[in-house]
Every structure is written in structure tokens, then in C-alpha cells.
Amino acid sequence: MKKAKDTAQITGQVRRIPLKEIVPSKDNPRKVFNPEELNELAESIKENGLLQPITVRPFDSKFAKFEIVCGERRYRATQLTGAEEIDCIVKELDDKSAFAAMVLENLQRKDVDPMEEAAAIYKLVNSFSTDISQVAKMIGKSETFVRSRLRLNGTIEEFVDLMHNGPLVLTHLLEICKLPAEQQKTLYECCFTPECIARWKYKFPNIPQLKEMIETNVLMQLSKATFSLVDETYDGHPACEGCPLNTKTNPNSESGVLEPRCMNRKCFMDKTLQRVFREAKKQSVDTEIVYQGTSAENEELIKKANEQGIKVTPMGIRKYVVDPIEPKKDDFTEQEFYQKRHNNWKHQKALFDIGIKEGNIVPVYEIGYSGHLSGETKYAYNLKESEGGGDIEKQKSQELLMKYKESLLSIDEKREDEKIEELRLEMSHSEYGNLNMSMSSVENDILIALLFKHLPYEFKQKLGLEWTIGKESWKENKNVLEKNRNSIKREFIRMALSDKSVNFSKDLQGMLEGIMQERYDSVLTEVDKKLVEKYKNIKTNLKEKIAGFKKSSKDKSGSQKDEKTVVKK
């Protein structure tokens, strides 16, 4: 790069430079500028001026005299204001120093794009021969961070696009980029095409789910295989146990034994395909064998199924019906939440079972979708459809019928809900609180149950009581509640008097001191003793400062009187 003439006279100071003499750097890591944000910044510059000058360096070309080092966004926004000049700090920088400054400025942004960041770090390391430890110090990050960003440059474009436009985030890409490009392509084709994403049972995969995708579809971990590892009857393939292409047989590392993998993807996938067709043959007697998508997309699967003598039909317009999965109790810390989810599952499951029993819902065995192999038993509305057409009205009537059955199933629940709402309103308007008489045993039991219900989960665990949301809970747990009645009352008091609100409420403070005096008098005495001593010292110190201040003022006043006397004399 050539330098501009007489640069020594213009560097290191703020100057007004014509915009037409400045060009952005082609090396700027930041490639994307949000138009709306640029317009907002332009309005701010019109209103308040440019608060921070941009940084440029001399740049001698037929197009410009200066190149932007830091502040291209401010430069672009200033252009939008219609201004002809911009405040600049001119610095003498070589290519490496200029690029390092660009990188540092961009890493300080809150909205920094990880791929731009990765490309910048890659250029620092490779184009400017900066070692990883130097880069880490330069940008204030760990060497582990730098290495992870360097690997990120190897991410294929398909996954970068999924991060920019959803449903993936940076954490996913940091895991995916550990794979070679060829394996990333395999992962994308098997799990991340639009057809695959449409079938996900979650909005986006968590890291364990992503790792399982990689283990199953890319690494061919044999623990994830859907076929038997000891079966020797798969056409053209030996059993996996003892196979030389099983890493357990010829391990290169300990992981090859602990997590054995198949080193022949073609063999692994062919066995999976044969397993799907074997299952399809078993099920074809009572179950329809289907594929989802067009016949063109599934041409190869259809051809292979026909060779096996398996008749397959398209799903057409039919919709799958989800078989509700029972929630696992161990997945919940609060049993009340589990109970709510479980009750909802029971309702959905009952509706599903009615559909199966009455023939509105039937099982189908799906061999594939849009050219992907699946091999799953699913459920669909009981319609026989041909590809490209179908009785849409019949489909709608089946769905409507299920809605009517769902309404029928929930009538008792709705009646009960209405009953409770009416009773709640009656209670809210009642004079119950004015009944100043001894409480009955039922009222006492319910009071303790209400207190218990609002106590921390950890306390409930200590009592060995899993509170449920059933209507009879307060009766079913009566003995445990009665046995721990006093503990429950005291835990309620402990919660109320250890809350931050005590600091702002004199009445609660009085109650807190009363309980401490009643049960922890020695603690109260110790606290009082410690604080009396602490604030006695503070008070003494303040009194000494006041006395010293008064003495100083008095001495000063006396000195002034002496001066006046001398003057009079």
C-alpha cells in the first residue's frame, strides 16, 4: 500500500475530511450493516452531531486519500445525512496494525456476528502470521476461544445460514464445526433439510439431541443402530460383532472400545434399510405401508420396496395424529407441575384411545419421507388416499368428529370447573371471616394444608411428602400434616420473617425480634453485644472528630481575635 504525501503533518489529530476522499477497507471484518440501525444513527448525527470521530489511515490511490480503520458504520450513517465532511483521527498504520484495530473494534460490539469474528481471527493468524497466544492477548480472550473461532471457519454454508435465519445458534455450530466438511454435509442431508426440520418434535435441538444426531447419522455409533449387531442374515453383510470395520475389534483409542463405531457408512445404512423393509413386511398384513412426500422424491425407496414385494402408498393429504407421550415423573422437581402435565396427558390419551378403538385413527408404517429413510409406526386418520388427490371433505369430517368426541370427553371436567367457579364466588362474598368461633377439625386441617402448599419444595421433601393437586390431597395427607403441624407453622413463620420485606416493616421487625427472643435468645444477645460494641466505637470516633472540629474552629477564632488586637495597637 502506498502512503499519502506529507502524512507527518496530518496524523494524530482530529480533522474534517471530505467524505469523497475516504473509502471503506475491504478487510473490515464487519460485512453486514442493518439499514434501519443506520437510519437511526443518521438521525442521531443530524440531531447531536458525530460524538466519536472515525479513525482513518493515509491511502494513496486514484479513488481516495484515506482508508477507514474504525468507524465504517458512522461513515455510512454520515453519508445518509447528506454531509460532505466527517471528523477523523488520522493514524499511520501498516496493514497488520490497521486490521488488528478493526478486529478489536468489531469484537467490542454487542451484535458481533460470530462468522465475521471467526473470519477476522483466521486472517490475523494466517495472513498476518500472528500466533494464537498473541491473538488471544490482543483481543482479550482465552486461547481456547481463539481456537474455537478458528474451527468455526470450517462450517459449511448450509449451517451458517441456519444460524443466521434459525433454528440454530452459535452453540450448535461450535459442535458441528468439529466435523470435517464432508461429514457436515451428511449431517445436514440426514437431519437439517427443510423436510427434516418440519418433522422435529422440538423448536430446535439441544446439545444432547444434536450429539445424538451426529452419533447416529455421521459417526455410525453402533449403540444407536436400529438393527441387531449379532444378526448374520443381512444380505451381503456380516454381523457387526467381530467385524474388522467395527472399532471395537480394531480400536485406535479407548473411545473406539467404549463407543464402538462402524467404519463403513454404506454397510451401516444398507443394514438399516433392510431392517426397515423387514419390519414393513411384518406389518403389511394389518398395517398400511406409506411414504410421505411425492413419488419423485421417494422414487428410490419405492423401487426398493417393490423389489422386496412390499406395496407402498402415499400419505397424500392425510395428517398424522400424535400418540401422546406420558410425562416422566423424574423430569419434574415440583410434583404439582408433574400432576398437571400428567392430567393433561391422561385426557389426550383417552381421546386418542377412543379414536383407535372406534377406527377413526389407524396405525401406518412409514418407510420414508421426501427421500429420507424413517421406518416408524405412526398414526393417521382412517382414509385411503391416492397421491395428488383425496377426499378433503372426508378428512375434515374425521377431524370434526374427533373434536366432538374431545368435547364429549371434557364435559364432566367443564361442569366441575363451573361448579368450582360458583363456589369460589360464593366464598369471596361470604361472611366466613367474621365467624369468630372455634375452628372445626376440618377447618384446622385445611389451614395446615394451605400453609403447607405454599412452603418451599425442599421443606416438603424433608417431610417425605409429595404434594399432588388432587382434590382429596388434603385428606390423603392428613396424618402426615397432623404429625408435622407445628413444623409447618414454624416453617411458614421462618419464610415470612426471613423475607427482605422485613427490612422495611416495623411490625414484622418486632415479630422477628419476638421469635428470636423466644427461641434463639443467645443469638439475639450475641448480635446485640456485637453491634453495641461496633456502634460504640463508631460513636466514639464521631465524637472525637466533632470535638477536634470544634477545637480547630475555636483556635482559628482566637487567632483571628489576636490579629485584630495587634492591628488596633
Which residue in 504, 515, 441 sits closest to 478, CA to CA?
441
pLDDT-derived band at 352 (thresholds 50, 70, 90) equals confident
Is residue 23 domain-shared with residue 59, that is, in the same domain? yes
Asked if residue 562 and residue 455 are part of one domain, the reply reads no
Domain boundary among the residues 54, 82, 112 is at: 112
For the range 398-404, what are the long-range contacts, defined as Cβ-Cβ under 8 Å and sequence gap of 24 or more?
Answer: 398/360, 399/319, 401/360, 402/351, 402/355, 402/360, 402/361
Of 397, 367, 399, whose CA–CA distance to 380 is shortest?
399
21 plus 73 within the same structural domain: yes
pLDDT digits (tens, 9 = 90+) for 482-496: 888 999 999 999 988
**Residues paired with residue 290 on neighbouring β-strands, in sequence order:** 313, 366
**Helix, strand, coil share of the chain (percent; to 5):** 60, 10, 35
Dihedral angle over CA of 148, 149, 150, 154, nearest 10: 90
What are the tens digits of pLDDT across the range 400-418? 777 777 777 678 778 888 8
The predicted model gives 431-440 an average pLDDT of 90
User: Which has more confidence, 474 or 188?
Assistant: 188
323 and 406 share a domain?
A: yes
The pLDDT tens digits of the residues spanning 354-387 come to 888 888 888 999 999 998 999 999 998 887 544 4
Residues 502 and 542 in one domain: no
pLDDT in tens, 30-81: 888 889 989 999 999 998 899 889 999 998 777 788 999 999 999 999 999 9
Residue listed under C-alpha cell 443466521: 164
| Assigned C-alpha cell, 558 | 482566637
Active-site residue among 43, 67, 72, 157? 72
Question: Residue 72's domain is classified under what CATH number?
Answer: 3.90.1530.10
To the nearest whole percent, how much of the chain has pLDDT over 70? 90
**Domain contains 153:** no
Assigned domain for 226 exists:
no
Largest CA distance in the chain: 134
Whether 381 and 467 map to the same domain: the answer is no
* CB 273, CB 303: distance < 8 Å: no
In the sheet that 372-381 helps form, which strands lie side by side, from edge to edge? 313-314, 288-292, 361-369, 372-381
Residues 534 and 503 in one domain: no
Structure confidence at residue 1 (pLDDT): 44
Instruction: Name the nearest CA neighbour of 28 among 108, 120, 92.
Output: 120
> How many domains is the chain partitioned into structurally?
4
Domain check: are 401 and 479 in the same one? no
Work out the mean pLDDT of the chain and round it to a whole number: 85
Residues linked to residue 14 through DSSP beta bridges, in sequence order: 89
Structural domain contains residue 254: no
**Does residue 133 form part of some domain?**
no
Question: Residue 472 falls within a domain, yes or no?
Answer: yes
DSSP label at 188? I
Last residue of a domain, one of 411, 431, 452: 411
- For residues 372-383, b (16+ Cβ closer than 10 Å) or e, as one string? bbbbeebbbbbb
**CB distance 1 to 59 below 8 Å:** yes
Interaxial angle between packed helices 95-107 and 114-126, expressed in degrees from 0 to 180 and rounded to the nearest 10: 150
5 lies in some domain: yes
DSSP 300: H
Return the residue matching grid coordinates 447416529.
216
Residues near 162 by beta carbon (within 8 Å), at least 6 away in sequence: 168, 192
Cell numbers 464487519: residue: 30
Other CB atoms within a 10 A radius of the CB of residue 360 amount to 16
Residue ending a domain, among 77, 112, 147, is 112
Question: How far is 506 from 229, CA to CA, in rounded Å?
Answer: 73
Residue 97 has pLDDT above 90, yes or no: no
Residues 88 and 19 in one domain: yes
Is 253 domain-assigned?
A: no
* Three-class DSSP category at 194: helix
One domain, residues 537 and 515: no
Same domain assignment for residues 480 and 463: yes
Question: How far, CA to CA in Å, does 29 sit from each of 71, 102, 114, 129, 422?
Answer: 12, 7, 10, 17, 65
Does the pLDDT at position 457 exceed 90?
Answer: no
What is the predicted pLDDT for the residue at 394? 66
Round the CA-based radius of gyration of the chain to a whole number and report it.
38
- Residue 400 or residue 204, greater confidence: 204
Show the domain range for 46.
1-112
Question: Residue 151 pLDDT more than 80?
Answer: yes
Angle between helices 335-357 and 392-409 (to 10 degrees): 130
Indicate if 452 and 391 belong to the same structural domain. no
Domain for residue 202, yes or no? no
* 72 has catalytic annotation: yes
